[in-house]
Amino acid sequence: NYVILAGDTRLSLSYSIYTRYSSKITKLTDRCIIGSSGMQSDIKTLHALLKQKIQLFYLEHLHYPDIHALGRLLTIILYSRRFFPYYTFNLLAGIDNNNKSVLYGYDAIGSSTDLTHACVGSGSALIIPILDNRVEQNNQLIKNFDFNLRDDIDFVKDAMTSATERDIYTGDQAEIYVVDEVGVHSTTLDLKKD
């Protein structure tokens, strides 16, 4: 089992690109990563807060929390700020203690959903139909749920490239993270820079 999480590195607003190398994905533990879209300062603050809480948990219990505990922690953090929320939309992905893939989606105030696939950000309207067709296979006569890591990574690369062609806020580089039983692996893919 594995989970793939990808994000571009472009930080832009309106017709301005502020930086081309701003990561939206953070490794929290060896079995869990978080990807976020929204306000960049809130994303950085939330990711730093999560890493701090994970480190405190480790110092107290001598092991890292699993993804279900981190999912609950993220819900509590976001909901506790519901009157002045972190303007972030998050995907928490990882492998649980039974080596099953887990993906949680969050809105800005902490409502979470257990998902099989998801997309957040400006390019999500372009990528989610492609993901629906690939994962759910609702419009295919012959369904093939035999997924393998290499084909799925190639599919994610194609989806990111397609979104870059049509969305001016997506581009520059794609960071592709894979979480499996071994740990977290990452690779980058160059995208259009215009």
Integer Cα distance of 79 and 190 in angstroms: 36
Residues 6+ apart with CB under 8 A from 46: 36, 77, 78, 86, 88, 90
Whole-number pLDDT of residue 79? 98
What pTM value is reported for the model? 0.93
Where is pLDDT greater, at 140 or 41? Answer: 41
- Provide the residue ranges of all domains of the chain, joining segments of one domain with +: 3-190
Whole-number pLDDT of residue 30? 96
Q: Which two tokens stand for residue 173?
A: 């580089």
- For 161, counting Cβ atoms within 10 Å of its Cβ (0-12 exposed, 13-18 middle, 19+ buried), the class is middle
pLDDT in tens, 154-175: 999 999 999 999 999 999 999 9
Average of per-residue pLDDT values in the chain: 95
Q: Which CATH number fits domain 3-190: 3.40.50.300, 3.30.365.10, 3.60.20.10, 3.40.50.1980?
A: 3.60.20.10
Task: List, in sequence order, the alpha helices (H) in the chain.
Answer: 40-61, 67-80, 124-135, 149-166
pLDDT band at 145; cut points 50, 70, 90: confident
Residue type, 8: D
